[in-house]
Structure 1
Amino acid sequence: MTTETVRRRDSERTKANIVAVATKEFANKGYAGARVDEIAAKTHTTKRMIYYYYGDKDGLYQAVLETSYGKIRRLEQRVSHIEDDPVTAIRQLAEITFDHHDRNPDFIRIVAGENILKGAHIKNSAAVQELGSPAVDILGRILEVGRDRGLFRTDVDALDVHLAISSYCFFRVANRYTFKTLFGRDLTAADQRPGQRKMLGDMIVAFLTDLGTELVDLTEAPDIDGADIPPTAT
């Protein structure tokens, strides 16, 4: 192994450690609250070194976003049985998302924080934006195979399913504290996990295989004050 190879590997390890620590800092304190000086201290590096690698705080934060989204996208590529059993494949994809979000609460905090900032940083990262395509592509392929075999409904697209899966997985982690206070149940408790994981898969499969219904057209939704909502029997 050459000296240059060793140096390059050391550099990659240092960068990986910086991003890992920065992820914790940004997740716990938000973009505004996180301090590069503190990240440098916790990684036994210097602010100058961090800026050498990432340019500035914004560059470091974008690296955190890219790494965080990249991880879930790589996990999604592990889905199998797409061509021979799309029902199993869609359940597997839902469970992969469930497991990732359950084990990576910092990802939830990072995404929630970026939404509070109205996507101010993610929209400046072409790398992160490109990470949306793999998620849609794999879902699209599963749906295509399922439709061709007459197993899945035809009035939903990949983004509809991605929304359904992500919403469920995100909610149970992001809202665990308020949900527990209001209803007395910790959604992330160990004894809750198996049932919730199965429920997600069951819901997605049931939704996709319910061939006798169609999505409601919400393009002409009733006024929010209820004026256009017809009275119901009591």
Structure 2
Amino acid sequence: MSELRVKRDPEGTRRRILEAAAEQFTKFGLAGARVDAIATVAGTNERMLYYYFTSKEGLYVAVLEAMYAQFAEREGSLDLSGLQPSDAIRKLAQSIWTHLRDNPQWLNLVNNENLHEGRYLERSSRLRETISPVVDLLRAILERGASEGQFRPGIDPLDFYVTLVGMGYYVVSNRFTLEAFTGRNYAEQRNHESISRLHVDMLLSYLRPDSRTMD
């Protein structure tokens, strides 16, 4: 690819580098991923990679930021305003869990960064901005449910969000060991749907007002 084409399509070059890097980091982790291999797959050269991202570590952080931003944008764009609060929770949960199941690359990157104890994500100045729209969306649902008497008040939306994501994350990220240990393949559609229904019922049961609140 000529430098002239790169200059004419800087966003395209940056996107291709990110896509190639995500694949390399998923397969080999930060330490094992090679800058020359990333550049080759992206159809550019190492100099352009360093121009856009400064270092391999900088590229790794950018990949994580992009993955989290894509996740948050997808959930933040859901139109839940016309649904009953319980149906909105159900739809949001199913959307998040489906995204986790359909994007094992995302899970691999998150698991890899946990091995690094989150030290590279800490460098990001944009990461926490990506979670805000989803938590705000959930906060609005919880408040609407409380005002209509369907949910109990005082639920922390961030804690609830972390719990909701964690339910789906555990099943998907541990699907291989779960199958080896239990003999049940949660990657199969029917098993995924079954445990998802169980998790939604648990979440909604927690949200419902108890008798003291109803009095």
Q: TM-score w.r.t. structure 2 length?
A: 0.88
Aligned to 2:166: 167
Aligned to 1:33: 32
| Greater helix proportion | 2
| SS of residue matched to 2:20 | helix
Aligned to 2:138: 139
Residue type matched to 2:144 in 1? V
Unpaired stretches in structure 1, ≥5 consecutive residues: 215-234
Bigger CA drift: 186-195 or 164-173? Answer: 186-195
Aligned to 1:98: 97
Aligned to 1:87: 86
Unpaired stretches in structure 2, ≥5 consecutive residues: none
User: RMSD between aligned alpha carbons?
Assistant: 2.2
Aligned to 2:194: 195
Aligned residues: 210
Cα 1:40/1:74, change in 2 over 3 Å = same
Q: Is the 8 A contact 1:108 1:174 kept in 2?
A: yes
Aligned to 2:181: 182
Q: Is the 8 A contact 2:18 2:59 kept in 1?
A: yes
Give the CA deviation at 1:210: 4.8
Identity of aligned residues (%): 34
| SS of residue matched to 1:80 | coil
Bigger CA drift: 73-82 or 49-58? Answer: 73-82
Cα 1:182/1:15, change in 2 over 3 Å = same
Q: d(CA) in 1 for partners of 2:61 and 2:71?
A: 16
Bigger CA drift: 10-19 or 60-69? Answer: 10-19
Cα 1:9/1:136, change in 2 over 3 Å = farther
Residue type matched to 1:203 in 2? M
Residue type matched to 1:68 in 2? M
Give the CA deviation at 1:81: 3.3
Give the CA deviation at 1:200: 2.9
Q: Is the 8 A contact 1:82 1:141 kept in 2?
A: no
Bigger CA drift: 203-212 or 50-59? Answer: 203-212
Give the CA deviation at 1:60: 0.7
Give the CA deviation at 1:155: 4.1
Aligned to 1:130: 129
Give the CA deviation at 1:73: 0.6
Q: Is the 8 A contact 2:149 2:209 kept in 1?
A: no
Bigger CA drift: 108-117 or 191-200? Answer: 191-200
